[in-house]
Amino acid sequence: MKSALQKTDPAVYKIIQKEEKRQQETLSMIPSENWFSPSVREAVGSVFSHKYAEGNIGKRYYEGCVHVDELETLAIERAKKVFSLPKNWTANVQALSGSNANLAVYLALLQPGDTILAMYLPDGGHLSHGWSFEPDVEKRDKEVQSGSLVYEGGSRKINISAMLYNPIQYKTSKKTHQFDYKAIAEIAEKYQPKLIITGGTAYPRIINHKKIKAIAKKIHAYYLADIAHEAGLIAGGAFPSPVGIADVVTMTTHKTLKSGRGAIILAHEDIIHKINLAILPGLQGGPHNHNIAGICVGLGEALSPAFKKYAAQIIKNTGDLALELQKQSFKLVTNGTDKHFVLMNLSEEPILGRPFARVLALAGITANYSTMPWDSRPPRNPSALRLGTPWLTTRGMKKNEIKKIAKWIREAMTIASQWADMSFEGMEEEAKQSKDIKRISQEVKDLCKKFLVA
């Protein structure tokens, strides 16, 4: 039987079908992506998207919110259980995204112009942690060559967090590419930020939350742990949690947590009260109730024993991926990983991050290029490539499949090396025509067909 959409809008229906086929027949190794359960998708597609519900539980500006209240209460209760919140801690589930969640924290706890100290974006931080870029290449090179572990910002304040606040960023150690806690403490003492932030997108190692909290406490600063990437690993008990250590915890819900798109903020009730006001009227209008429904269902799934196994399997699969890539003579930033992705250092390979990501995509492996610590190359053409396993793990893939994937990645690099001197477009054209790349793409498809997801 034809679906409603198929009957009324076959053009959109067809595009959705093609996207589903692409997702099923290729390997998504972008660590911030995942495949949600049919129940999460059903909740997100529900009638809750029709409803306006500005305000908070029991205090809405619209009538007809009795079931929205019920839903949001359940989502908050589940968040408390999943993240083992201390007494008097609660959650806000209304932020539309991770960036909005972070902005809400700044609005709630800071005054415009206050100093925030966060991780340097090219080392794996996040745009919303106060990024400003330096377009002057000479100035940029000088800054990198100085070897300083502090970034005082560039002249182009490209994120609102840098326009409204005064961001200072700490870099990772030049030697280990990991956090240098002593240096962070010294930077904090010198710049006296009101807020210290950890977390981001491309730091493959565990962060010592206790050490960061101690640094923040000494200078009477708040500590915000952004666990957007690790939320599912923490929910499944496979990774250390900052809950009960940091003052505020923010996360997106659609990465390792597999709960549809949205965000959660966790903190003591007093802080959440301020954050609720920062969300509305500070930043947003009506919450996306349908997304809160997805989050609620995803959190319910995260409470199951199967999710614990899932989180542990992600860590195992990524460890195996690191090992297999190293066997294939690839270099990894920090020589490995503690979590759900690896950062490949391609600086000594014939092809760097951006062109290699395109070659891999044509071979059926979707990844994304990335900056890496102490990389002097520009963000649009950096040296690294980020590869994660959350989605592969959702599909049920394990060591045998990981081994094959690492082999295909090396094969793709060997094939692409013959195009090393070409322009990006020239290389892309060659890759599109290449029989060898087509052969890998077919092998990937054959594997994917054995691991279809509902």
**250 contacts 227 by C-beta, under 8 angstroms:** yes
| Total residues binding ligand DSN (CB under 6 A) | 4
Shortest Å, Cβ 220 to ligand DSN: 29
**407 contacts 418 by C-beta, under 8 angstroms:** no
Shortest Å, Cβ 82 to ligand DSN: 21
- CA 87 from centre of chain: 28
Tell me the residue nearest to ligand DSN as measured from the CB: 32
Residue 313 is a binding residue for ligand DSN (CB under 6 A): no
Shortest Å, Cβ 129 to ligand DSN: 11
* Residue 365 to residue 150: CA distance in whole angstroms: 36
Structure tokens at 143: 């800054």
- Using the minimum distance from each CB to ligand DSN, give the nearer residue, 129 or 171: 129
* Residue 188 to residue 63: CA distance in whole angstroms: 47
* Residue 307 to residue 182: CA distance in whole angstroms: 36
Is residue 146 exposed (0-12), middle (13-18) or buried (19+ Cβ within 10 Å)?
exposed
Choose, by CB under 6 A, the member of 28, 32, 198, 434 that binds ligand DSN. Answer: 32
Shortest Å, Cβ 163 to ligand DSN: 18
Is residue 1 exposed (0-12), middle (13-18) or buried (19+ Cβ within 10 Å)?
exposed
Shortest Å, Cβ 149 to ligand DSN: 23
Rg of the chain on CA atoms, in Å: 22
Residue 28 is a binding residue for ligand DSN (CB under 6 A): no
Residue 161 is a binding residue for ligand DSN (CB under 6 A): no
Residue 92 is a binding residue for ligand DSN (CB under 6 A): no
Residue 201 is a binding residue for ligand DSN (CB under 6 A): yes
Site for ligand DSN in 94-153 (CB under 6 A): 98, 126
- Using the minimum distance from each CB to ligand DSN, give the nearer residue, 203 or 307: 203
* Residue 16 to residue 10: CA distance in whole angstroms: 10
- Using the minimum distance from each CB to ligand DSN, give the nearer residue, 298 or 388: 388
Catalytic residues: 52, 54, 226, 252, 255, 261
Nearest to 65 by CA among 57, 77, 74, 73: 57
Residue 34 is a binding residue for ligand DSN (CB under 6 A): no
Site for ligand DSN in 51-70 (CB under 6 A): none
Contacts with ligand DSN by CB under 6 A lie at 32, 98, 126, 201
